[in-house]
Amino acid sequence: MSAKRTVSLLLHAHLPFGLRPELPVSLEEAWLFEATIDCYLPLLELISAEPGKKPRLAASLSPTLLEQWSHHDFTDRFAAHLDRLAAILKRECSDQSLPKERRELAEEMLLRNAQLAAHFVRKWSANLSAAWGHLASEGKVELLTTAATHAFLPAHQNSPLTRRLQIQLGIERFTALTGITPQGFWLPECGYYPGLEYDLAEAGIQWFAVENMNGSSVVRCPNDVTAIARQGELSQKVWDAHSGYPGHANYREFHQDAVHQLSHEQAGLYRLPDGGSLPLGLKYWRVTGKGEKDWYDPVVARQQAETDAQDFIESMARTPESFIFLPFDAELFGHWWHEGPYWLENVIQRASQHPALTLASPTDAISSLKDIPEGLPAASTWGHRADYSFWINPETDWIYPLLANAGRKLKDAIARSESDPLRRRAVNQLARELLLAQASDWPFMLRAGATAGYAEERLRRHLTRFQFLLNQLATEEIDAETLHALEQLDPIQPNLDLQRF
């Protein structure tokens, strides 16, 4: 009989802060609401069915995602979005001019969304941050977190203040919103450089994830923090855009949304002034191939997910490593890959019954390992070529000098904030704007191209607010009303007090 392999599955959940209560609808909220209904609510259902006591799955939840779920405007705005979506789906169901296949799929989507929406209120008490924390406290999932606004930390090697703020504030806000003290830490984009483990140790972190370690799956850093590496070959079976499971012809097509086929009147608020549309998730087709798309068949898709789950189990059982760490973007499961939660459920069930596999959370897996070798990971990310180039490149080079300069000015402002309450509030807001500007989402979007304009606008918006506040601090003419308005626009880290940094 082959030796047992310990498998740790981790889902990393993150979205930049994007609640826009001052607008009827927005692109940022469309992203948040679609991900919540397609991914995070189904994942909560899956995890709530776990036996508990010993978690078999881990999830990293970013503070900015948790902040949005916990915001007082989220519940009403999410409910309003679901009501508008339900009205559109009901119209699709009753429109006899539409093909039968489309009407049936709309009805299935309507029923599914209604059930998830009901669970959001009744089962999860309209508080998803607390829901995740509750499941973790029952031993159904291990929770960890990431940097406060998901900053790409290798870009801030020369700014100890930035790293402390991002790491410590991220952990503190996560704990405040979930009630959980994390043992592990997700480095944004798996961005690591030698020495970063000391910042993690200072924050009480015991382990972190990296992309690779030249063949080693786990090492103990000289400061006793453990690094665990992603198993690349198995990860590619899920991640790869061409050969990965989600690209199978039978799965639901992510990129084709019927919102673009609706009339201006039918789309309502989701039709933009320029003629474009916000995403709604009206997806009636399967991947099929590169040409025309066939109608989606949920039964066939679920059968395919079962087949792919079994293939993944067999691949894990053949893997020579005794410890297999498999982190994924959480939104792959349900959002980008509609059948992902069902596939994951099958993987968990089959792995728990396989004689060669044991599922364990990363913390439990590490504690069970004997004789972990001492070592140090190489600088890496989980991006293209495993280097920094997707975040630091000619399209993004202009960002980092601006952030570094702002970081130096923030440090000076903290030193001069003294005890004046209004001045301290202004300095705290100065820090919030810089934290928001530091999000790794902006250089990622700039490099990817599709939403580059939005990313640049967001980044410059926060740096402009930063400079505005800096000018007010310099002239000692702080406008309390304007400061209050800025505090409400992107209300992250509400209890921030920089005097201890």
- pLDDT tens, residue by residue, 380-401: 999 989 999 999 999 999 999 9
Nearest to 427 by CA among 412, 440, 442: 412
Query: Are 246 and 238 a contacting pair, CB within 8 Å?
Result: yes
Read off φ and ψ for residue 271, nearest 5 degrees.
-95, 125
Looking at residue 212, what is its pLDDT?
79
SS3 42: helix
Q: Note if 479 is an active site residue.
A: no
Calpha distance 478→458 (Å, rounded): 24
The annotation status of 308 as a binding-site residue, yes or no, is no
Place of tokens 């382990």: 207
Query: Which residues on adjacent β-strands are paired with residue 380?
Result: 192
Calpha distance 215→217 (Å, rounded): 6
Read off φ and ψ for residue 17, nearest 5 degrees.
-65, 125
Nearest to 184 by CA among 53, 363, 312: 363
Calpha distance 215→37 (Å, rounded): 38
Considering just the CA atoms, what is the radius of gyration of the chain in Å?
23
Q: How many CA atoms within 13 Å lie on the side-chain side of 102?
A: 19
Q: Note if 490 is an active site residue.
A: no
Q: Which uninterrupted H or E stretch holds 205?
A: none
Calpha distance 406→469 (Å, rounded): 12
Domains of the chain: 5-252+285-381 (3.20.110.10), 399-500 (1.20.1430.10)
Calpha distance 150→441 (Å, rounded): 8
Calpha distance 375→466 (Å, rounded): 40
Catalytic residue among 50, 329, 387, 395: 329
Query: Which residues on adjacent β-strands are paired with residue 329?
Result: 12
**Number of Cβ within a 10 Å radius of residue 411:** 15
The annotation status of 382 as a binding-site residue, yes or no, is yes
Looking at residue 2, what is its pLDDT?
60
Calpha distance 145→143 (Å, rounded): 7
The dihedral built from the CA positions of residue 444, 236, 195 and 150, taken in this order, carries a sign that is positive
**Number of Cβ within a 10 Å radius of residue 317:** 16
Catalytic residue among 34, 67, 142, 189: 189
DSSP string, 222-274: TTS-EEEE--HHHHHHHH-TTTSGGG-TTSBPSS--GGGGS-HHHHGGGB-TT
Nearest to 456 by CA among 146, 359, 464: 464
Segment-wise mean pLDDT, segments of 10 residues, the chain, 501 residues: 86 97 93 98 97 93 98 96 97 98 98 97 97 98 99 98 98 98 99 98 98 86 97 93 93 96 94 90 96 97 99 97 96 97 98 97 96 94 94 97 98 86 95 99 95 96 98 94 96 92 81
The annotation status of 247 as a binding-site residue, yes or no, is yes
Distance of CA 14 to the CA centre of its chain: 2
Looking at residue 172, what is its pLDDT?
98
Instruction: Round to the nearest angstrom and report the end-to-end CA distance of the chain.
Output: 55
Looking at residue 449, what is its pLDDT?
87
The annotation status of 164 as a binding-site residue, yes or no, is no
Nearest to 245 by CA among 308, 316, 297, 328: 308
Looking at residue 384, what is its pLDDT?
86
Alpha carbon separation from 477 to 10, 411, 424, 481, 482 (Å, rounded): 48, 20, 13, 12, 11
